[in-house]
Amino acid sequence: MSKKVLSIQDISCYGQCSLTVALPILSHYGIETVILPSAILSTHTCGFTNFTCLDLTNEMPKIIDHWISEHITVDCIYTGYIGDRKQFDIILNNKHKLLKEGGLFIVDPAMADNGKLYPALDEFIVLGMKKMCMEADYIIPNVTEACLLTGIDYVEPEKQTTEFYHNLLVELYRLGAKNIILTGVIDGDSIGAIGFDGITRTTVLKELQPKSYHGTGDIFSSVIVADLLNGKSMRETLHHATDFIIDAINETIDDDTHNYGVKFEQVLKNEE
């Protein structure tokens, strides 16, 4: 029987990120995907100006209540970008009603990169993400998000060390998350991720790419969620997700008109 995941994050109508990548990727890997949009944006917030945003905070409890009345449950709840502090309590207060026994709660605390919060977010979003991470089975922060969650000072990539990453992982584990996947880890000319379950660290590093794109974190997390639900090991999962991002960048990098995301669709096609 196929697994069923509920993904809670925004819909950016234009720009390859959030639910517009989570839904096709999870579906491609055989995961039935239910969505609960946190907001609808005309575009994502990186590189675009005057974007519109429709907050769906008031609608979320109504949708959840309807699901509960229909006895709808899922094998996994996977959260991404949350734009309103009230939504954290909505998710946490209903998590146990929607998750099947033994189901996974996976949090991508999508709120920051390159040492700073995304536009329009504030310290209350950080506090809300921290509350969710405390209850999570898996969290998938990048280095900036890990620093905000732990209170460890952010340092530029060229100054990030093995000890720095170790301290982030230990403090994230102390926060309460059962498993951590720290992304954007850099070692010289390599980049990748570290998985940590409180005992074992699994590090996967690949060649650093010459260009970065918005939305690759959402794609990475969606591949991770699919692989975990399909029973892959942490090492298999990290290798697959990292290779997927590299392949998506390579599919995009020669197209100067495509600077708002990566051509992940072609990678899915190539895997068929």
Task: Tell me the per-residue pLDDT of 162-191, one tens digit each, with 9 for 90 and over.
Answer: 999 999 999 999 999 999 999 999 999 999
Number of domains in the chain: 1
The mean per-residue pLDDT over the stretch 14-29 comes to 96
What is the average per-residue pLDDT within 144-156? Answer: 97
| Interacting residues of 13 by C-beta distance below 8 A, sequence separation 6+ | 20, 40, 41, 42, 43
Helices (H), 142-212: 143-150, 162-175
Name residues whose C-beta falls within 8 Å of residue 16's C-beta, 6 or more positions apart in sequence: 215, 219, 260, 261, 262, 264
Please give the Cα distance from 207 to 191 (Å, whole number): 6
* Residue 255: strand, helix, or coil: coil
How confident is the model over 31-66, as pLDDT tens digits? 999 999 999 999 988 888 888 999 999 999 999 999
- The CATH number of residue 134's host domain is 3.40.1190.20
User: Is 270 a residue whose pLDDT tops 90?
Assistant: yes
Percent of the chain with pLDDT over 90: 92
Measured CA to CA, the distance from residue 133 to residue 261 in angstroms comes to 27
Q: Please state whether 74 falls in left (phi above 0), alpha (psi between -120 and 50) or beta.
A: beta
Distances (CA, A) of 127 to 59, 60, 84, 147, 168: 22, 20, 12, 13, 17
Q: What is the pLDDT of residue 50?
A: 87
22 within domain boundaries? yes
pLDDT of 80 strictly over 90: yes
So what's the pLDDT on residue 228? 98
Asked, for residue 272, whether it belongs to a domain, the answer is no
219 within domain boundaries:
yes
* Inside any domain, residue 171: yes
Q: Is residue 271 part of a domain?
A: no
For residue 1, pLDDT over 80 is answered with no
Query: What is residue 75's predicted lDDT score, i.e. its pLDDT?
Result: 98
Position 49 scores a pLDDT of 85
Instruction: Give the range of the structural domain holding residue 80, as residue numbers without chain letter.
Output: 4-266
Length of the chain: 272
Q: Does 235 reside within a domain?
A: yes
Model confidence at 152: pLDDT above 90: yes
- The alpha-helical segments, DSSP class H, found in the chain are 19-28, 60-69, 86-98, 123-134, 143-150, 162-175, 216-229, 234-252, 264-271
**Does residue 101 lie within any of the structural domains?**
yes
Query: Which pLDDT belongs to residue 121?
Result: 86
Confidence band (pLDDT; 50, 70, 90) for 110? very high
* pLDDT computed for residue 92 by the predictor: 98
Q: How far is CA 161 from the centre of its chain?
A: 23
Look up residue 249 and give its two tokens: 């960048």
